[in-house]
Amino acid sequence: MLKKARIAVLVSGGGTNLQALIDAQASGIIHSGEISLVLSSKADAYALERAKKAGIDGLVVSKKDLGSQEAFESQLLAYLKQYDIDLIVLAGFMSILSESFIKAYENRILNVHPSLIPSFCGQGFYGLRVHEAALEYGVKVTGATVHFVNEIPDGGKIILQKAVAIEENDTPEILQKRVMEQAEWLLLPKATEMVSASLIKE
């Protein structure tokens, strides 16, 4: 039986979701797992700075430098193995992972998506585009979803969802911020703890 699930967080940018996870670990919301590694697809991602400040190892794996998806995933897997990782959390990670990579960590990769799946999700729906689509469509409620990652973009089993109201004068940027604050930053740590707890029972 594991004492704590070892978690790797995969990032590409500012790392606000990573920060939510770091804070949740510090406050004891995440107690069945610990963040052991942050892997960034970009060398200049501010998320690496956040990892450093929290005393977590941060490493860069650049597809551009490695030259192919295969080499990129092979390097990711090597680091995950080196750190003995049990659970992967995608936090604004901008690379699609192949089916063989996902199979290697089946039901052990979490992602947060800024809408209520099955709305505004799938290929091409990420970042501000999701919020633009919600506003264009005129829905009154949006939110965020944490789900397991499978070979279909945003197609894995849903773990948690939380609704967020859309307000009269929302822009995509304002809506993005509200969805992060009211849903993503709460759901992702909660789901990470839930899955970590189930892994250490296995």
Looking at 35-126, list the stretches that DSSP marks H as alpha helix, in order from N- to C-terminal side. 46-53, 63-66, 69-82, 99-104
Ramachandran region of residue 88, left (φ > 0), alpha (ψ -120 to 50) or beta?
A: beta
Mean pLDDT of the chain: 96
What is the DSSP code (8-state) at residue 202?
-
The count of domains in the chain is 1
* Whole-structure pTM value: 0.95
Residue 107 identity (one-letter amino acid): N
Instruction: Give catalytic residues, as residue numbers.
Output: 113
Residue 130 identity (one-letter amino acid): V
SS3 20: helix
Q: How many other CB atoms are found less than 10 A from the CB of residue 125?
A: 18
Task: Residue 197: give the domain boundaries.
Answer: 5-201
Show the tokens assigned to 189.
């740590």
Q: How confident is the model at residue 95 (pLDDT cuts 50, 70, 90)?
A: confident
Q: Is the pLDDT of residue 96 over 90?
A: no
Angstrom distance (rounded) from CA 174 to CA 16: 15
- Per-residue burial over 111-124, b if 16 or more Cβ lie within 10 Å, else e, is bbbbbbbebbbeee
Q: What is the pLDDT of residue 148?
A: 98
Show the tokens assigned to 115.
């809408």
CA distances from 87 to 8, 121, 140 (A): 6, 23, 34
Q: What is the CATH number of the domain that holds 148?
A: 3.40.50.170
Q: What is the pLDDT of residue 1?
A: 58
Q: Is the pLDDT of residue 94 over 90?
A: no
Q: What is the pLDDT of residue 8?
A: 98
Q: Is the pLDDT of residue 30 over 90?
A: yes
Residue 13 φ/ψ, nearest 5 degrees:
-140, -130
pLDDT digits (tens, 9 = 90+) for 67-81: 999 999 999 999 999
Angstrom distance (rounded) from CA 77 to CA 12: 17
Angstrom distance (rounded) from CA 73 to CA 105: 12
The average pLDDT across 177-198 equals 98
Q: Is the pLDDT of residue 181 over 80?
A: yes
Angstrom distance (rounded) from CA 5 to CA 70: 27
